[in-house]
């Protein structure tokens, strides 16, 4: 089983990212959903997939589609899919790409949702949480096995904050978010 660190909206806080990498030395792959606003060359992680956010330099790719352990993963920032107005445009876009998992950022709000055969993940912001019911800096870890398992963590203490994030979603959905994509 492969594990992925999923981060977003670090906004020049590479030291915070490095702390996250050090807290999880067994994970060698990081997906960054944009708005890094810094030179990623200083980051010490084996594999970094990074997309352009609305505040990044235009030389970064706007999206990436990667395959890891037979999962097709789309990484976008989300501003071009207008995620601040809901997930409909993002889901429609993801369906055209034939992916299993969409990782996005931009809103600084951690969340996970299931729409049809798509899993949609926003890890929140590691630097600047914004509004909503979860006002702590967060990131996510995705375990790719027979099931897709997602957990949320505090970006400074590295404590699991699943109850905080998923508690802001409905109780009925909470039970199904930890492990829900069967192969």
pLDDT along the chain (183 residues), means of 10: 96 92 96 89 86 92 97 96 93 97 96 95 94 86 95 97 82 47 43
**Residue 6, strand partner residues:** 31, 140
Q: Compute the half-sphere exposure of residue 176: CA atoms within 13 Å on the CB side of its CA.
A: 12
Q: What is the pLDDT of residue 43?
A: 82
CATH superfamily of the domain spanning 2-174: Metallo-dependent phosphatases (3.60.21.10)
CA triple 164-170-81, angle to 5 deg: 85
Q: What is the pLDDT of residue 178?
A: 52
Q: What is the pLDDT of residue 171?
A: 46
User: What is the full DSSP assignment across 63-130?
Assistant: EEEEEETTEEEEEE-SGGGTGGG-SHHHHHHHHHHT-SEEE--SS---EEEEETTEEEEE---SS---
Order of strands across the sheet with 138-144? Answer: 47-50, 29-32, 2-7, 138-144, 148-154
| DSSP conformation class of 44 | -
Exposure letters 65-83 (e unless 16+ CB within 10 A, then b): ebebeebebbbbbbbebeb
């Amino acid at each position: 089983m492969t594990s992925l660190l999923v981060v977003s909206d670090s906004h020049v806080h590479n030291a915070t990212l490095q702390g996250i990498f050090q807290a999880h030395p067994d994970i060698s792959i990081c997906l960054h959903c944009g708005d890094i606003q810094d030179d990623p060359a200083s980051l010490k992680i084996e594999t970094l997939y990074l997309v352009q956010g609305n505040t990044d330099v235009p030389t970064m790719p706007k999206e990436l589609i990667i395959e890891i352990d037979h999962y097709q993963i789309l990484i976008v920032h989300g501003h071009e899919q207008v995620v601040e107005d809901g997930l409909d445009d993002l889901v429609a876009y993801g369906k055209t790409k034939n992916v299993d998992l969409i990782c996005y950022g931009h809103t600084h709000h951690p969340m996970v949702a299931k729409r049809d055969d798509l899993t949609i993940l926003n890890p929140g912001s590691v630097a600047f949480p914004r509004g909503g019911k979860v006002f702590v800096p967060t990131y996510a870890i995705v375990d790719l096995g027979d099931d897709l398992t997602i957990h949320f963590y505090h970006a400074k203490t590295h404590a699991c904050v699943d109850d905080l994030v998923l508690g802001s979603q409905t109780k009925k959905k909470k039970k199904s978010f930890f492990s829900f994509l069967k192969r």
